[in-house]
A and B are shown apart, each in its own frame.
Chain A
Amino acid sequence: MAEVLKGNLAQLSLLDILRMLSFGRRSGRLDIRQGGKTGEIYLERGNIVHAVTGTQLGEKGVYTLMGWLEGDFSFTPDVNVPDHSINTTTEQLMLEASRQAEQWEDIKDVLSSTDAVFNISPSGSTSTVSLKPIEWQVLAQVNGERSVVEIGEILELHEFEVAKIIYSLTTAGLLHEVTGTRPSFREIVDESFFVQLNEIFTEVMGPLGPVIIEDEIRLLGEDRAAFPQDRAAELVERISLEISDSAKRAKFQKEMVSVLRG
């Protein structure tokens, strides 16, 4: 049986893949792998009829898989469906998934992945914050070591629910993502890179340039003093999207590509 479609969720979201397969009225199995975790979604003539990941089945399984922001997928056509665990129509399922995907887009701004680790922010919130019981339960599990997935497992909550709560606690100033959880052997960019970036970007954007750069570094969950070399191009690309004039953006990219390529 040939796999007709393979890819990575970082480039094509699960929702987009399901839309494509559903629109094309495809039958088969979509396998999704993220680290050691796996999930399967079965389609019959474009209808999502069964999903499973870990102990979660049906709609719950689909929504959990929808939260996987990274990982590999492959679609194998014409596979027998072992079960029919989904009662919701595909249209309703996609609508809910789409609503969750929109929320994931916001969540992604503060949560690099569901394996991210958070800690209590020492500075705290600048205003009064009231917490719902479930938010308090999540906050109580945050210890600078547990990931979003692990907190979900402890509280028996859906990853999406935990991510949503962590997002709101982070934007309220109560939490921050722990940096340095990535391997420490990553190469760090030289300060001269930031000097050139500041100079070239400020030329286009004016005095707001350095502020935007700092914002983007923060949104990537990184620290300027230890910014990894392998994310330098990603930072430059994100910054370049702030330039609305396409000719100026291309000029900025050209200069920065030359800096990045040394």
Chain B
Amino acid sequence: MKAGLQEINELGGVWGSLVLNNRGEVIVNAAPAGLNQDALANLTNQAVDLLSSAVESLPGLTETVIHYSQKKLFILDLKQVVLLVICTPSVDLSLLRMTVNVVVTNWGADPKIQKQLKDHYVERL
């Protein structure tokens, strides 16, 4: 999975990406090493909380983008896990969505990754 995240990270305006379980715990981390761990935990919990409330209000929603003044968070619900991409405000969201779709489609076709995702599944709180 890390190779997929690195592919996403190569896109202009992407700062880092992570795969989280449904409770916001990090499964695979391709975020910059210098990132403060408390800030990261805060960010991942916030991402999963926002996604959960959005999905609860809008069944069928799979993607949320949160715009902050200094960054954008792209949050994708993969059901078993959550993909979080941390971007700069200038990221091209169309290009990001397509790149993510290519990566996620590859994951779907890879039995090893599917098993890994299944093993990390936890129910949302």
Give residues in A with beta carbon < 8 Å to B: 5-8, 11-12, 16, 19-20, 23-24, 72, 230, 233-234, 236-237, 240, 246-247, 249-250, 253-254, 256-257, 260-261
Q: Does the CB pair A246–B58 fall under 8 Å? A: no
> At the interface, yes or no: B53 with Cβ under 8 Å from chain A?
yes
Whether B57 lies near A256 (C-beta < 8 A) is no
With A19-B57, A23-B57, A250-B105 known to touch, is A233 a contact of B92 (CB < 8 Å)? Answer: yes
How far does the Cβ of B89 sit from chain A's closest Cβ, in whole Å? Answer: 9
Neighbour of B95 across the interface among A8, A11, A260, CB < 8 A: A260
Please, how many residues of chain B have a CB less than 8 angstroms from a CB on the other chain? Answer: 24
A257 near B67 with CB under 8 A, answer no
In the bound complex, CA of A169 to CA of B97 (Å): 34
Chief secondary structure at chain A's binding surface: helix
B88 to chain A, nearest CB (A): 14
Decide yes or no: A257 and B66 within 8 Å by CB, A16-B58, A237-B94, A250-B105 being known contacts.
no
Q: Report the Cα distance A249→B67, complex, angstroms.
A: 27
- The answer to whether the Cβ of B101 comes within 8 Å of any Cβ in the partner chain is yes
Which residues of B have CB within 8 Å of A237? 94-95, 97-98
Residues in B20-73 with C-beta less than 8 Å from chain A: 50, 53-54, 56-58, 64-69
How distant is the Cα of A15 from the Cα of B54 in the complex, in angstroms?
12
Q: Is the CB of A6 within 8 A of B67?
A: yes
Chain B CB within 10 A, most for which of A12, A247, A256: A12
